Amino acid sequence: MEKTSIHGMWSSRTAFILAATGSAVGLGNIWRFPYLASDNGGGAFVLVYLMCIALVGLPILIAEILIGRHGRRSPITTLVALTRETGAAKGWISIGWIGIVAGILILSFYSVVGGWTLHYSWLYLKQAFGGAHITDPAATFGDLLAHPWELAGWHAVFMALTVGVVGLGVEKGLERAVRFLMPALLLTLLALVAYGATTGHLGKAASFLFQPDFSKVNAGMMMAAMGQAFFSLSLGMCTMMTYGAYLPKDISIPKTGAIVALADTAIALLAGLAIFPIVIAFGIDPHGGGPGLIFTSLPLAFDVMTGGVVYGLMFFGLLFVAAWTSSISLLEPATAFLVERRGVARKRGSLMVAALCWVIGLATVFSFNIWSHVRLLDRDLMGLIELVANDIMLPLGGLLIALFTGWALKETVLREQLAGMSPAVFTAWRWTARVIAPLLVLMVLLNVVL
């Protein structure tokens, strides 16, 4: 009989793909990818990013789902069981700990930015009912950042909505809504790309994104691209392992993994193609846009296009939903740990973790105002948390996941989980997990240190 998870199973391949892309597609694609491309010189960053997705991201995505499906339990319990089963060192369980800590750190700033999407949805909602227009987006954004308690308030609302789903377990309703809302987000992005084409600057935007200027390649940029690949695919912190645990046996891991990676990458590239024509058309420097890029550029277009208010509301509203479906997967690992290992009730556990994330998030909130002078390693506090969690912890977690799958798990287990993969692809994948992906991650991490 097939081994199943005590938490239930995905009803179909589509259900799994929707949940996994729901986690993958979020602020990472639409807020972070464009601003990192802007800060790191465009084309060269995008090229390195795509290489990281193909050579490191997809193979590790497959590894993570595979461990999850073989173990069928929450990450730490699975890792404990698998180290026992294989006789591997207990040290591998640290993969689960890295995931829990990285999830908490990421959610701390993710929720602050999620709060920005709520604030902007609110501004456009008010505008739809006759409220003031956003005519000077840079000033509007600057004004928000200058008010710590307004930021902290939206941050609290976003966190409360996340706890609402994780703590009350109302995932079902959200899952159903997402079936319509994610395609709606895709359509809004496509409409913005079309609008960008009417400005006549789509070509310039495409060459900014796709013509690599190799003089821009450096250690810091490669680390940003690698970190972003892990962040965008929700990799390296056991999220995909959790989702893999509920995946029925007869569904192909490589195929579904490839679909998730492709969808995630396509949305990021579309976001770039939607944003940069507008940036260029309105005379903004495409370089060095920083975390405010989409908030300071897109409202310029929404103010002049026909139906701009509706687009503004749809864009920020749907971006909030995309962020929401990702944030629940960030809160889940630490909550599951408290529930399973410490016997805390689910509601209470998720509330405790969220409260902790909210407090840590204040460092991000204050990094824009009262603590803006605090700099460490040449970064402000938000940048520092992004560095530690996204650029170091996720790749490190991914590296360990790849090594564990490649070296510790038995070949029979791998073959059973990847049944249907051709022998040549299997060998290529296995050596990527064993050597190539870990080596690439290590090179990028060490390059920055040395």
Residue 256 interacting with ligand PHE (CB under 6 A) = no
Interface stretch with ligand PHE, choices 5-13, 72-80, 117-125, 230-238 (CB under 6 A): 230-238
Residue 23 interacting with ligand PHE (CB under 6 A) = yes
Interface stretch with ligand PHE, choices 3-11, 21-29, 177-185, 351-359 (CB under 6 A): 21-29
The least CB distance from residue 373 to ligand PHE, in Å, is 29
The least CB distance from residue 330 to ligand PHE, in Å, is 5
Give the residue with the Cβ less far from ligand PHE, 188 or 234. Answer: 234
Given candidates 17, 18, 24, 319, which one binds ligand PHE under the rule CB under 6 A? 24
> In the complex, which residue's CB is closest to ligand PHE?
28
The least CB distance from residue 389 to ligand PHE, in Å, is 9
| Residue 141 · residue 295 · CB < 8 Å | yes
Given candidates 28, 227, 254, 292, which one binds ligand PHE under the rule CB under 6 A? 28
Q: How many residues bind ligand PHE (CB under 6 A)?
A: 15
Interface stretch with ligand PHE, choices 127-135, 204-212, 322-330, 399-407 (CB under 6 A): 322-330
Give the residue with the Cβ less far from ligand PHE, 237 or 269. Answer: 237
The least CB distance from residue 240 to ligand PHE, in Å, is 8
For the stretch 127-131, contacts whose Cβ atoms lie closer than 8 Å and that sit 24 or more positions apart, written own/partner, are 127/309, 127/312, 128/309, 128/310, 128/313
Q: Is 379 helix (H, G, I), strand (E, B) or coil?
A: strand
How far apart CA 44 and CA 51 sit, in angstroms, is 11
Give the residue with the Cβ less far from ligand PHE, 237 or 280. Answer: 237
How far apart CA 43 and CA 32 sit, in angstroms, is 15
Given candidates 5, 38, 121, 239, which one binds ligand PHE under the rule CB under 6 A? 239
Q: Which residues contact 406 (CB under 8 A, 6 or more apart)?
A: 63, 430, 431, 433, 434, 435, 438
Given candidates 140, 326, 335, 350, which one binds ligand PHE under the rule CB under 6 A? 326
How far apart CA 108 and CA 150 sit, in angstroms, is 16
How far apart CA 418 and CA 425 sit, in angstroms, is 10
Residue 242 interacting with ligand PHE (CB under 6 A) = no
Residue bearing tokens 């809504």: 177
Alpha helices in 233-367 (DSSP H): 239-244, 253-281, 293-304, 308-342, 346-366
Residue 237 interacting with ligand PHE (CB under 6 A) = yes
**Can you read off the two tokens belonging to residue 98?**
């890295």
Given candidates 27, 301, 353, 389, which one binds ligand PHE under the rule CB under 6 A? 27
CA-based nearest residue to 385, from 368, 353, 363: 363
Residue 188 interacting with ligand PHE (CB under 6 A) = no
Give the residue with the Cβ less far from ligand PHE, 195 or 324. Answer: 324
CA dist 178 → 22, 175, 189, 228 (Å) = 8, 5, 16, 24
CA-based nearest residue to 257, from 65, 23, 90: 65
**Can you read off the two tokens belonging to residue 17?**
């793909």
Residue 311 interacting with ligand PHE (CB under 6 A) = no
One character per residue 88-127, x = contact with ligand PHE (rule: CB under 6 A): ------------------x---------------------
Residue 405 interacting with ligand PHE (CB under 6 A) = no
Give the residue with the Cβ less far from ligand PHE, 48 or 134. Answer: 48
How far apart CA 91 and CA 88 sit, in angstroms, is 8
How far apart CA 169 and CA 397 sit, in angstroms, is 27
| Residue 79 · residue 93 · CB < 8 Å | yes
| Residue 251 · residue 11 · CB < 8 Å | no
Q: Which residues sit at the interface with ligand PHE, rule CB under 6 A? A: 23-24, 26-29, 106, 231-232, 234, 237, 239, 326, 329-330
